[in-house]
């Protein structure tokens, strides 16, 4: 039986106090021994320096493969070239290439699409490039068939691993994986799982991502939103059930959106480690 990859996502903190906390958290995440840890990139490049530093720390100090997110919205080729040179100098070898969300009133810059960024990184050389995919379709796509076409372009540019947007209905992921297969996309797909442990947080994230919340989750949030411990347990249980089903159905990988919380990641991992 093939091993299912298990990976985590962390994000750079916004203030200097939290910087120390993230390094402490990374030490705790390392105990799980994930297959890789990805590090997000702030809107408009607001945390690009920390993304590079944290990614380097993960790979060189913790000896865990790291994947640095890189968005290109509003960027020039010089901007991206400088960031790639810095990542390379810090020993970062893996990039998750994303267009990023366009801030209101701003232009796209030199890169119109994630595929433009992937081509640029390929020309620069020295990196393995991963890309995003969307089980429910990208919010700007005219239809799901267009999403598959874009994913095929990314694959043809050399992308060997896709990391999915968060989703809560596994049928959406299975449909996407099947359509990718029909299109000749023979790449690893890691399923993005977001534990619902905080009511305000999940509503904000869902509004940004466009992901739909199944009735089972909305009922749990409504019932337990004033009982943090109960909501936490319900969220962990839902994530574990989702992951168990994905592994049983042959998903290549599970990518856990950790929200920088080692306890959440550890509690979930301890429930699923025997099936990976």
Tokens read off for 122: 């390929």
Burial group, residue 1, by CB count within 10 angstroms (0-12, 13-18, 19+): exposed
Report CA 202 to chain centroid distance, whole Å: 16
Residues 263/24, Cβ–Cβ less than 8 Å: no
Report the relative pairing of strands 253-257 and 5-10 from DSSP bridges. Answer: parallel
For residue 62, which of 131, 10, 3, 125 has the smallest C-alpha distance?
Answer: 10
**What gap in Å lies between CA 30 and CA 37, rounded to an integer?**
9
Instruction: Give the start-end residues of each E strand in 109-249.
Output: 128-133, 161-166, 188-193
Tokens read off for 158: 């050399």
Question: Is 9 one of the annotated active-site residues of the chain?
Answer: yes
Active-site residue, selected from the candidate residues 9, 20, 128, 178: 9
For residue 250, which of 168, 185, 188 has the smallest C-alpha distance?
Answer: 188
Adjacent-strand bridge partners of 164:
133
Q: Which residues are catalytic?
A: 9
């Amino acid at each position: 039986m093939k091993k299912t990859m298990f990976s985590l996502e962390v994000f750079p903190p916004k203030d200097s106090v939290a910087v120390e906390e993230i390094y402490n958290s990374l030490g705790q995440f390392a105990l799980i021994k994930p297959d890789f840890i990805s590090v997000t990139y702030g809107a408009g490049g607001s945390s690009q320096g920390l993304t590079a530093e944290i990614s380097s720390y993960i790979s060189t100090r913790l000896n865990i493969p790291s994947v640095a997110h890189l968005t290109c919205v509003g960027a020039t080729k010089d901007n991206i070239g400088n960031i790639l040179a810095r990542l390379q100098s810090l020993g970062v070898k893996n990039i998750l290439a994303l267009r990023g969300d366009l801030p209101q009133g701003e232009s796209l810059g030199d890169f119109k699409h994630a595929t433009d960024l992937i081509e640029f990184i390929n020309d620069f050389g020295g990196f393995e490039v991963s890309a995003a995919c969307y089980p429910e379709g990208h919010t700007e796509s005219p239809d799901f068939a267009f999403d598959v076409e874009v994913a095929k372009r990314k694959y043809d540019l050399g992308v060997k691993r896709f990391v999915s947007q968060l989703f809560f209905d596994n049928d959406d992921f299975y449909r996407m994986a099947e359509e990718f297969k029909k299109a000749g996309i023979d790449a690893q797909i890691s399923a993005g799982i977001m534990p619902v442990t905080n009511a305000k947080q999940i509503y904000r994230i869902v509004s940004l991502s466009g992901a739909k919340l199944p009735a089972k989750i909305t009922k749990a949030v409504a019932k337990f939103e004033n009982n943090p411990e109960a909501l936490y347990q319900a969220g962990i249980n839902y994530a574990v059930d989702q992951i168990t089903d994905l592994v049983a159905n042959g998903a290549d990988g599970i990518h856990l959106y950790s929200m920088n919380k080692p306890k959440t990641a550890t509690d979930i991992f301890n429930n699923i480690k025997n099936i990976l």
